[in-house]
Amino acid sequence: MSAPQTSRTSGFDKLAQAYSWMEYVSFGPMLQRCRVHFLPFVGDARQALLLGDGDGRFCAALLVAAPQVHVMAVDESARMLQALLHRVERSGNNRRVTTVHADATAWLPDGEVDLVCTHFFLDCLSDDDVEALIKGVRLRCPRGRWVISEFAVAPAPLKWLSRAVVGGLYLAFGVLTGMRTRRLPDYASSLCRHGFVCTAVHTRMLGLLRSELWQSGLADGK
């Protein structure tokens, strides 16, 4: 792990060990299915930026699916990063991973990346933080893909039910981690503003869960 770029302790630290079990009890395999949905399309990635990847279940799967990739995993929680490292060590792929203990909204890699992945992470941020994050990432990803998994408010007739589920999750994470965000940010508008184009979407649980694939640089003709 590189030297910490933040002195803040994260509310997610105390969830790191139990995180995958909590998820399995509440959503079964559905969230992991969202995370890996577009993996078959990014096997040629070389330099990936994983923001808020948590305990590294996606990171471990990406390292297998993309044999040439080097991963930079940025997380505000030191414990989550430790869990991620343990997981990739077990599969012997840790030499292709650099972890960065930092606030992802205030940190950028030195060089360019061709893949960005955020799974159930953008929903931790405010609209302003999402806008700043995407603006920064675009500078380092002039031509690449962004894989996203997120909760969403489902269309009618499940709109109110999905709102209640999302509201309940925010309440639970607020209590467990101290997270202050209380509503889903409009990351799609920010991505479009900064030149990303959504090229594929897959929904699960009647629209409550979304897997999305975005691409930058399409309009540049490079």
Ligand X SMILES: C[S@@+](CC[C@H](N)C(=O)[O-])C[C@H]1O[C@@H](n2cnc3c(N)ncnc32)[C@H](O)[C@@H]1O
Q: Residue 51 is encoded by which pair of tokens?
A: 């923001």
Residue 75 found at the interface with ligand X (CB under 6 A): yes
Nearest-approach distance from CB 1 to ligand X, in angstroms? 14
For ligand X, the closer of residues 75 and 131 by Cβ is 75
Binding ligand X by CB under 6 A: which of 38, 120, 151, 196? 120
Residue 93 found at the interface with ligand X (CB under 6 A): no
Residue 59 found at the interface with ligand X (CB under 6 A): no
Residue 127 found at the interface with ligand X (CB under 6 A): no
Residue 105 found at the interface with ligand X (CB under 6 A): yes
Report the amino acid identity of residue 115.
L
Nearest-approach distance from CB 40 to ligand X, in angstroms? 18
- Which residues make beta-bridge pairs with 197? 215
Residue 10 found at the interface with ligand X (CB under 6 A): yes
Residue 52 found at the interface with ligand X (CB under 6 A): yes
Binding ligand X by CB under 6 A: which of 42, 124, 137, 154? 124
Positions in 145-204 near ligand X (CB under 6 A): none
Nearest-approach distance from CB 106 to ligand X, in angstroms? 8
Residue 103 found at the interface with ligand X (CB under 6 A): yes
Binding ligand X by CB under 6 A: which of 59, 63, 78, 121? 121
One-character DSSP codes across the chain: -PPPS--PPPTTGGGTTTHHHHHHHHHTTHHHHHHHTTGGG-TT-SEEEEES-TTSHHHHHHHHH-TT-EEEEEES-HHHHHHHHHHHHHTT-GGGEEEEES-GGG---SS--SEEEEES-GGGS-HHHHHHHHHHHHHH-SS-EEEEEEE-PPPTTSHHHHHHHHHHHHHHHHHHH-----S---HHHHHHHTTEEEEEEEEEGGGTEEEEEEEESTTTT-
| Chain residues that interact with ligand X, rule: CB under 6 A | 10, 12, 35, 52-54, 74-77, 80, 103-105, 119-121, 124
